[in-house]
Amino acid sequence: LTVGIPIFDHHVHMDSRSANEYELMAVSGVEAVLVPCTFTGERRNSADAYFQRFERILGLEARRAAAFGIELVAALGVGAGDLGDIDAARRAVDALPSYLRREGVCAVGELSLKSGTPEEIELFERQLVIARDEGLPAMVEVPPGGSGQETAAALERAIRKHGLRPETIEVVDVGAAKLPAFSHLGLGGYGIPVSPANNGLFAIHCKVDAAEAKRLLESYGDRRLMFNSALHLGSGDPLAIARVLLHMRCTGVSEDVLIRLAYGNAFEFFSRSGRLQLRRRAA
């Protein structure tokens, strides 16, 4: 089943997926996953509710991945999606640095803006500053729909206001329609959610197929695009990355480039902090 290309799926919400999918991912070449915090549909009204989520990812989720020979690393953060009580979220952010120092954590994220209220902006900026102070990269999610302009503008303001290094920030859930909003910011990575066409009944994000991925490669080069499955609560294909790699190889994209897209670029981006520990040491 494997197309023979190692995969580091650096944006996948495995805490919403089944163990069966871990098995399919493993046989298709997924060696490592990065599981960030995200919307789960539960309003968090206490700081403890955030901490429970962190513990779930670092504990049970890492053990589930390991059962299939997959290494799991995590990104932790307080996103806008499950915001309940603002003071609870603030207390969770206060405690975030101590969780970020735990083994297996290699980034802050995913950070998000839902309605862009001043409170959301405050949490967003504070966590970008925490990422900088902790020497960790940050992962920022671009919400479904729209052009990505609002997230790009908030990110640009935060970078200017706090003197952040854009090369330490990655945006995820971007494709041809949203990438232009970010291309002037000098960010370190563009997380491209890839999948062959999928007409699942509960789809959340639009995914990028092999033809669009090839066009992105021509426009943006092969150094910053980072493929991921972006599997979450919605319908999705655990073989998505491997299948897109196969399609791209069949249209003539070289093995070296495919390895960069599937593993190397994300590996390099998240390695900069010195906190990413994976068995494979180079792409």
User: Binding to Zn ion (CB under 5 A): which residues in 71-100?
Assistant: none
Residues 6+ apart with CB under 8 A from 164: 128, 129, 132, 158
| Tokens (6 digits) for 91 | 């207390």
Stretch that binds Zn ion, among 20-28, 38-46, 119-127, 270-278 (CB under 5 A): 38-46
Which amino acid makes up residue 54? F
**From the CB of 205, what's the least distance to Zn ion, in Å?**
8
Helices 118-134 & 86-100 angle (0-180, nearest 10):
10
Residue nearest to Zn ion (CB): 38
Would you say 110 or 209 has its CB closer to Zn ion?
A: 110
Residue 227: closest CA among 4, 8, 41: 8
Nearest to Zn ion of 142, 261 (CB atom): 142
Q: Is 156 helix (H, G, I), strand (E, B) or coil?
A: helix
Task: In angstroms, give the least distance from the CB of 79 to Zn ion.
Answer: 9
**Residue 260 Cβ vs Zn ion, minimum distance, rounded to whole Å:** 22
> Minimal distance in Å, beta carbon 172 to Zn ion?
6
Q: Tell me the Cα Rg of the chain.
A: 17
Query: Is the Cβ of residue 114 or residue 280 nearer to Zn ion in the bound state?
Result: 114
Is residue 112 at the binding interface for Zn ion, with CB under 5 A as the rule? no
For residue 265, state whether it binds Zn ion (rule: CB under 5 A). Answer: no
CA dist 119 and 115 (Å) reads 10
Site for Zn ion in 135-154 (CB under 5 A): none
Nearer to Zn ion, 174 or 239 (CB): 174
Whichever of 96 and 231 has its CB closer to Zn ion, that residue is 231
Closer to Zn ion by Cβ: residue 53 or 247:
53
For Zn ion, the closer CB: 36 or 104? 36
Cβ 121 to Zn ion, closest distance in Å?
20
Residue 221: name the closest of 263, 253, 196 by CA: 253
3-state secondary structure 171-191: EECCCCCCHHHCCCCCCCEEE
Q: Which of these ranges, 35-43, 148-156, 206-214, 270-278, lies near Zn ion under the rule CB under 5 A? A: 35-43
Q: From CA 72, how far away is CA 49, in angstroms rounded?
A: 22
What is the rounded CA–CA span in Å between residue 96 and residue 237? 32
Q: How far apart are CA 21 and CA 237, in angstroms?
A: 9
Dihedrals φ, ψ of 172, to 5°?
-120, 160
Nearer to Zn ion, 38 or 195 (CB): 38
Rounded to the nearest whole angstrom, what is the least distance from the CB of residue 38 to Zn ion in the complex? 4
Q: Are 259 and 283 in contact (CB under 8 A)?
A: yes
38 in contact with Zn ion (CB under 5 A): yes
CB of 230 to Zn ion, least distance (A): 6
Other Cβ atoms within 10 Å of 222 Cβ, number: 17
Q: Single out the segment in contact with Zn ion by CB under 5 A; choices: 30-38, 147-155, 245-253, 273-281.
A: 30-38
Contact residues toward Zn ion (CB under 5 A) are: 38
